[in-house]
Amino acid sequence: MTQPRLYLDDPDLLTFEAEVVSVGSLAGRPAVVLDRTAFYPEGGGQPADRGRLGDVPVVDVQEVDGEILHLVEGAPPAGRVRGEVEAERRRDHLQQHHGQHLLSAAFEATAGARTTSFHLGEETCTIDLEKPAAALGPQALRAAEAEANDLVFRDLPVTAREFSPEERAHLPLRKEPAKGSRIVVVGGLEGGAIADASPCGGTHPRRTGAVGAIAVLRASRWGAGTRVEFVCGARAVRALAEATGRLSAAAQALRCAPAEVPAAATRAAEDGAARRKELERLALTLAALEAERLAAAGTGPVRVVLAPPTSGAPAYLKAVALALAARGRVALLGAVEEGRAHLAFARPRDLASPDMGERVRAAAALLGGKGGGAPDAAQGSGPEVGRLEAALAEAARGTG
């Protein structure tokens, strides 16, 4: 087993000296085992550290059968080597992981919501809570966020060490240790109340203030419980900058002040919906007129390639086809939009045949696409625009 694990006692230790014990391989890369290491291996929801062993980049760190394997890019080092842990990545993971402890404690304290799992992602982090999303509305999220940040701003001491069974018996553990006896305790041991106590083998700061800040981004239903997405520390600063940039861009597009964006966006959405309704009404009117013109032009099935007046060929074709069917005609219509051929077939409801679903599937197959629908009305499309006339001609066979 790799000993000692320097990151457990000193999370701020980023450089160290060690001896190479052995070199193997893992996932197709050389894997170096040291007699001591400050590199944290992936585990407990926390990604691995990165850095260097001498001049060789460390691209991953994994624990296998009690040994910490340092996966390197290039020729593995030998003998005495200097290890350097990437500072920014270590600080980021420390902020996110300890921030999770504080947020999980806050959700238990304010909402009685217990954390079941944690994931530290590249951009954001998540915790899964047992409580259903319906019971954790915006007010509950903000309350837990405020409680967690209060723990940060109070800059409480953090103790992370092995505790004896007798010591653990006096700790208000959020959960029992799955393995080992290392507990992370927030506050309490230097006087005052213990704010949180939880088993963990990850990297944690000496004081809660190192987390900086905790921002709850959103919550969503996750099985029977809730998944909460959050960021801490430098990520919270970046998230604020990105949100401010998006808000400014929206305000510019809507020609309003940033504080007026919600109201302006609501007005724009309502105006857009009204315009779409009016366009739909006009399109249906135009489709009815087009169907009237086509129905008056002759007898028998109407087979034609139309030029829709606006975008939305499928909807327009369907409206014309149904209007023709209502006038007692079989409609085999096609159109081309944005390099794709579209089909809309329909027949009067009092006709027992032909089956429009079968016809449109066969025609769409000739276009290199797919289609389907009911026996009296169906639609399809395909990329072979040049075969549209042939597909309509084939569909018209045996229709009278």
* CA 52 to chain CA centroid, nearest Å: 31
Q: Cα(113)–Cα(131) distance, rounded to whole angstroms?
A: 5
15-26 and 80-85 as β-strands: parallel, antiparallel, unpaired? antiparallel
Q: According to the model, what pLDDT value does residue 353 have?
A: 82
pLDDT band at 269 (very low <50, low <70, confident <90, very high): very high
How confident is the model over 377-382, as a mean pLDDT? 94
Say whether both 156 and 239 belong to one domain.
yes
Residue found under tokens 């990437």:
86
Instruction: Return the biggest CA–CA distance within the chain.
Output: 96
Q: Which has more pLDDT, 341 or 308?
A: 341
Number of domains in the chain: 3
Q: Of 67, 85, 103, which residue sits at a domain end? A: 85
pTM: predicted TM-score of the whole model, two decimal places: 0.74
Domain-ending residue, one of 41, 65, 85: 85
Residue with tokens 């045996």: 398
- What per-residue confidence (pLDDT) applies to 203? 92
Write down which residue in 85, 100, 132 finishes a domain: 85
Clarify whether residues 124 and 204 are in a common domain. Answer: yes
Domain presence at residue 330: yes
Mean pLDDT of the region 5-11: 92
Domain assignment of residue 135, yes or no: yes
63 plus 176 within the same structural domain: no
- Structural domain contains residue 265: no
Tell me, what's the pLDDT at 2?
A: 56
102/241 same-domain check:
yes
- Provide mean pLDDT across the span 68-78: 95
- Domain enclosing residue 22, as ranges: 6-85
Residues 193 and 307 in one domain: no
Secondary structure percentages of the chain, helix, strand, coil, to 5 = 40, 30, 30
Same domain? 46 vs 144: no
Looking at the structure, do residues 73 and 17 belong to the same domain, yes or no?
yes
| Full strand arrangement of the beta sheet holding 158-162 | 158-162, 182-188, 191-199
Residues 159 and 220 in one domain: yes
- Per-residue pLDDT of 358-375, as tens digits, reads 999 999 999 999 999 999
Q: How far apart are CA 194 and CA 186, in angstroms?
A: 6
207 and 166 housed in the same domain: yes
